[in-house]
Amino acid sequence: MNALQAVNAKTDFQTAEDWWRGAVIYQIYPRSFQDADGDGVGDLAGIVQRLPYVASLGVDAIWISPFFTSPMADFGYDVSDYRDVDPMFGTLADFDAVVETAHSLGLKVMIDLVFSHSSDQHPWFKESRANTDNDKADWYVWADAKPDGTPPNNWLSIFGGSAWHWDARRCQYYFHNFLTSQPDLNLHTMAVQDALLDVADFWLARGVNGFRLDTINFYFADKLLRDNPALPLEQRNDRIAPAVNPYNHQLHTRSKNQPETVDFLRRLRAVMNPYNAAALGEVGDAHRGLEILGEYTAGDDLMQMCYAFEMLTGGRPTAEYISDVFAKLDEVAADGWACWAFSNHDVNRHTSRWNLSDPAKKMFNTLMMCLRGSVCVYQGEELGLEEADIEFDDLQDPYGIEFWPEFKGRDGCRTPMVWTDSNQNGGFSTAERTWLPVPSEHLHHSVAKSENNPDALIHHYRRAIAFRHAHSALALGDQSKMKVDGNVLSFTRNWNNQTVFCAFNLGDEPAQISIPDGIWTSVGQDLNSAPADATGVVKLDAWQPCLAIRNNNPKGVQNG
């Protein structure tokens, strides 16, 4: 399927205002997508070059990770100029070309905004740290030391150690949830909010259709700087930080997740509304992620969608686990809207994380396309790329360098996209050395090789995305309470007069279930969907789905 065919295959059941609802969003990590100028680092011109491929997958939108001016201590998530493109990635004209090309291919464009913190090289911070009485003195979170010189409270950084760093210019500590070179902005100061809203408006006026909002629940810290409580050992998990990180020893009720966030999100939504723009918030919380998702997406004046980390978990999701997640979601976020992802630029690729066989890869993709919510696909997952094993000397991620070897960081999921298997860089770059090495084992899964293999995962992704687009109930509909029968997860999706039955065998052994009462037509044969027999019994092979649509014809089960 070419890009134009993919655009034409999409249905038009979504209005201009709710294009995001049920959308399939393709995440592009620009450093690793395509290098157009041969310096070993991907760039915006490279994205333009490869957008027809993205459109051919049938997705609705792209999310581009940060490309703003940055010293790159955290690879663009440390912004020093919110209104310009880092020369590494090109120019504003190159970004305009991305937007124009994407729109011509029927793709919406979402960009990654980092509002919780900036780089310490940002002019705002340089002015703020100069003294205690300048115009931006309160634009960041500053605090005096305790009488004994230690930090003002017990808050910890996700990247390890105290979240406070002593600054000799002001003789005060500043707060950083991440690297010491990423000071947290103080959104309690209205001028900071106004400046960030101006940034959002700048990019909306330039043609973007929405934002992925980095660490959306980190925008505010407790104004009184009270300590976080300790977290009992039995409640700790590694959903947000690796197990070896002491960050997991606290319940972060003070350093993030503050109630003031909701009011700021309402202000942001008001800026977005005239552009029919949508936002996707990243909720980074190991204990209240789904609750916060519900709080931030309830109603028409907050964010359209958020994602928590339940499906980015380390262990392979079982039928019972997925059912529990959706039961919790129904309890705490009934009026909200989730976005689901199995992989992204911050976690090990799910093919490796869950140790998936080829049939399991396909079935999990089909499952994702049937769940209520929107969907994010991370570049390369459609090829079945596995987590790369990066040698310590090649590591770039400061997170991995800090916690090596128990935690190897995020470089393994950020290696360059493989377009061909004909050269050492997989068609990503002509440079002698790329910013991260291209794993030789990835070459066997390149786009070119996959396109020529009818059994390759990429074709399944296209079929599953097209199936979602062809059935409005999957994109927009309600979802019944999930049912668990051993390893089989089942539910129905309902929209107007359309009901889709979905069942998935999440196990290595065959299983058998009964389809609900009613008249059903089996669908999704190109997704390996198992048919029901005349009595409504479905026999599922390992890692096989069953997909059926309710039929108004009262004569019996039909297969077609």
Does position 258 have pLDDT exceeding 80, yes or no? yes
- 207-217 tens-digit pLDDT: 999 999 999 99
The Cα–Cα gap between 312 and 263 comes to: 28
Question: What is the reported pTM?
Answer: 0.95
**Chain centre distance of CA 206:** 23
Res 250: pLDDT? 95
Res 1: pLDDT? 54
Closest CA to 178 of 169, 165, 194, 191: 165
Res 238: pLDDT? 81
Res 82: pLDDT? 98
pLDDT band at residue 555 under the 50/70/90 scheme? very low
Per the DSSP assignment, residues forming a β-bridge with 485 are 488
The 10 Å Cβ neighbour count of residue 533 is 12
- Tell me phi and psi for residue 475, to 5 degrees: -85, -35
Alpha helices in 21-154 (DSSP H): 44-56, 92-104, 123-128
**Secondary structure (3-state) at 550:** strand
- 226-252 tens-digit pLDDT: 999 999 988 888 888 878 899 999 999
The Cα–Cα gap between 433 and 39 comes to: 8
Contact, 355 vs 364, CB < 8 A?
no
- From the list 184, 222, 282, 397, the catalytic residue is 282
- 46-95 tens-digit pLDDT: 999 999 999 999 999 999 999 999 999 999 999 999 999 999 999 999 99
pLDDT band at residue 529 under the 50/70/90 scheme? very high
- 140-199 tens-digit pLDDT: 999 999 999 999 999 999 999 999 999 999 999 999 999 999 999 999 999 999 999 999
pLDDT band at residue 3 under the 50/70/90 scheme? low
Instruction: Check if 441 is active-site.
Output: no
pLDDT band at residue 554 under the 50/70/90 scheme? very low
Closest CA to 388 of 341, 429, 435: 435
pLDDT band at residue 8 under the 50/70/90 scheme? very low
In the numeric block, the tokens 């769940």 are attached to 371
Residue predicted with more confidence, 262 or 532: 262
In terms of Cβ atoms closer than 10 Å to its own Cβ (0-12, 13-18, 19+), residue 330 is middle
Give me the percent of the chain exceeding a pLDDT of 70.
96
Does position 559 have pLDDT exceeding 80, yes or no? no
Contact, 109 vs 98, CB < 8 A?
yes
The Cα–Cα gap between 182 and 7 comes to: 40
- 294-330 tens-digit pLDDT: 999 999 999 999 999 999 988 999 999 999 999 999 9
Maximum pairwise Cα distance, the chain: 82
Res 551: pLDDT? 66
Instruction: Check if 295 is active-site.
Output: no
- 88-127 tens-digit pLDDT: 999 999 999 999 999 999 999 999 999 999 999 999 999 9
Res 560: pLDDT? 42
Average pLDDT of the segment spanning 329-345: 97
The Cα–Cα gap between 185 and 500 comes to: 46
Q: What's the whole-number average pLDDT of the chain?
A: 94
- 275-288 tens-digit pLDDT: 999 999 999 999 99
Q: Give just the sign of the alpha carbon dihedral 322, 325, 327, 333.
A: negative
The Cα–Cα gap between 204 and 272 comes to: 8
Does position 14 have pLDDT exceeding 90, yes or no? no
How would DSSP label each residue in 250-262? B--SSSS--THHH
Closest CA to 340 of 28, 25, 107, 33: 25
Contact, 179 vs 159, CB < 8 A?
yes
Locate 347 and state its tokens.
Answer: 């976690």
DSSP classification of residue 235: G
Does position 397 have pLDDT exceeding 90, yes or no? no
- From the list 35, 112, 120, 214, the catalytic residue is 214
Contact, 254 vs 221, CB < 8 A?
yes
Q: Residues 6 or more apart from 139 whose CB is under 8 A from it?
A: 124, 125, 127, 128, 185, 186, 189, 191, 192
Q: Which domains does the chain have, with CATH numbers?
A: 3-117+240-251+279-469 (3.20.20.80), 478-559 (2.60.40.1180)
Does position 13 have pLDDT exceeding 70, yes or no? no
The Cα–Cα gap between 196 and 211 comes to: 13
Does position 499 have pLDDT exceeding 60, yes or no? yes
The 10 Å Cβ neighbour count of residue 341 is 22
